[in-house]
Amino acid sequence: MYHFVTVDDIQVMSNRIVCAAQACSFSTEIECLRSGKTIPKTSSLYKLDCFLDSEGAIRVGGRIKHAKVTGVENHPFIMPKSSHISEIIVRHYHNACGHQGRTTTMGAVRSAGFWIVGLHGIVSSQIQKCTKCRRLRRPTENQKMADLPADRIEVAAPFTYTGCDVFGPYTVKDRRTSIKRYGLIFTCLSSRAVHIEMLDDLSTDSFINSLRCFISLRGNVRLLRCDNGTNFVGANNELRRHHQNMVCDPKIKEFLLQHQCDFQFNPPESSHFGGTWERMIRSARNVLSGLSGQINERLDSSSLRTLFYECMAIINSRPLTTVENDVQPLSPNDLLHMKSNVVLPIPGSFDSDDVYSQKRWIKVQALTNVFWKRWSKEYLTTLQTRQK
């Protein structure tokens, strides 16, 4: 026949556990109280005016027996410092009060009717051992920056080592319908030059077409770093499958794999690994997003591609070094074109009303002029400080 545990059963067992813990540490004090003698002054219980209750457990006598509180708070059980039961009690009420600090935990223990000798030290020790408290209260770690990868510092032709990502979308007009177009930005990891292509959609085929256009203009890419976008992963698998089916000779296959574009993906959900090209996206997208209200449904696909190229030329004209002794600063365009001329604003007078012009090239030049002004105001002013 089963016997269900009741509240009284739990209370009886709790009192027995308390008595057993007290008998292990306070045997001398218990004998003195039973015989009516005074507890020695060297005892830690001397100032507590303790007494034995009806069940033989030691309780605090204290000075607040007339306080209007519950009996367990007037006369709490005295628990030894070295007992494992005391640690369990502190750990339980520390979790119950939501992993609060030392003062809150001590108040919860004493309100529950336990006077633990040396409670301050036990609570501090338990909080120090608590995994959640250490995670919430530990100081912020200072992460040491890792070494730059070899492709960031290797002397190579522009866009030999490249990072890429997609930004957008931008709504353009195609006859009577509105469609979305995306920007695909390539960033040279060594020269910090950028190249922007337009994507018709986020499919693998569209990315491969834009990648081939980029390689046709800028030359072969030895390494292409990117995140784990589905179009990037699909392009990698598609290119490798075509290379494997193209030839059967192992030596030729190995040669093609070594000289063709190789993909290297960042770890999933680790955008900080792509800070090199994410910063370039910010330079372009911050201004283009401000122009999105003027772009939407006022440009077609070819005009948007022209605008991307104009923005690319402006960004590549940014200085990479500070001006020293009236020397012209180095820019990515110097490395790409081997020319020292900086891309200047579009010749001619274009204002905001030209955005509504019927001529598409005037629309693009007006938007480019706005891009130049905003980009100069937001980016070039950050290069004023001189590094010592």
**What tens digit of pLDDT does each residue of 262-296 get?**
777 777 777 777 788 788 888 787 767 656 555 55
Of 255, 239, 356, 369, which is closest to residue 307 (Cα–Cα)?
369
Do 113 and 183 fall within a single domain? no
- Strands 161-174, 177-188: pairing is antiparallel
**Among 134, 164, 192, which residue terminates a domain?**
134
Q: Is residue 141 part of a domain?
A: no
Residues 195, 204: contact at Cβ < 8 Å? no
- Residue 162 identity (one-letter amino acid): T
Q: What is the mean pLDDT of residues 128-142?
A: 84
What is the average pLDDT across 366-382? Answer: 64
End-to-end CA distance of the chain: 86
Which residue from 164, 195, 168, 204 is spatially nearest to 183, judged by alpha carbons?
168
Neighbours of 298 (CB within 10 A): 18
Name the band, by pLDDT with cuts 50, 70 and 90, for residue 350.
Answer: low
Residues 257, 366, single domain; the answer is yes
pLDDT per residue over 63-96, tens digit each? 777 777 666 778 888 888 888 899 999 999 999 9
Q: Which long-range contacts (CB under 8 A, 24 or more apart) does 37-46 make?
A: 44/81, 44/117, 44/118, 45/78, 45/117
3-state secondary structure 5-59: CCHHHHHHHHHHHHHHHHHHHCHHHHHHHHHCCCCCCCCCCHHHCCEECCCCCEE
* Alpha-carbon gap, residue 45 to 81, rounded angstroms: 12
Asked whether residue 145 is assigned to any structural domain, the reply reads no
Angle at 318 between CA 278 and CA 146, to 5 degrees: 40
Amino acid at 328: Q
Do 129 and 179 share a structural domain? Answer: no
- Residue 290 — φ and ψ, nearest 5°? -65, -25
The count of structural domains within the chain is 2
Q: Which domain holds residue 316?
A: 150-383
Whether the pLDDT of residue 171 is over 80: the answer is yes
- Beta carbons of 286 and 297 less than 8 angstroms apart: no
Residues 180 and 36 in one domain: no
Find the CATH number of the domain harbouring 45: 1.10.340.70
Give the model confidence (pLDDT) of 353-369 as tens digits. 554 555 555 666 666 67
Q: What is the mean pLDDT of residues 142-151?
A: 78
Average pLDDT, the chain: 77
Q: Is residue 142 in some structural domain?
A: no
Specify the pLDDT at position 91: 92
| Residue 94 confidence (pLDDT) | 92
**Inside any domain, residue 9:** no
The angle formed by the CA atoms of residues 307, 286 and 327, to the nearest 5 degrees, is 80
- Are 273 and 347 found together in one domain? yes
pLDDT over 50 at 247, yes or no = no
Q: What distance in Å separates the CA atoms of residue 90 and residue 296, rounded to the nearest whole number?
A: 63
**Residue 248 pLDDT greater than 60, yes or no:** no
Tell me whether residue 343 is exposed, middle or buried, using C-beta atoms within 10 angstroms of its C-beta: 0 to 12, 13 to 18, 19 or more: middle
Q: Is residue 349 part of a domain?
A: yes
Domain boundary among 109, 134, 159: 134
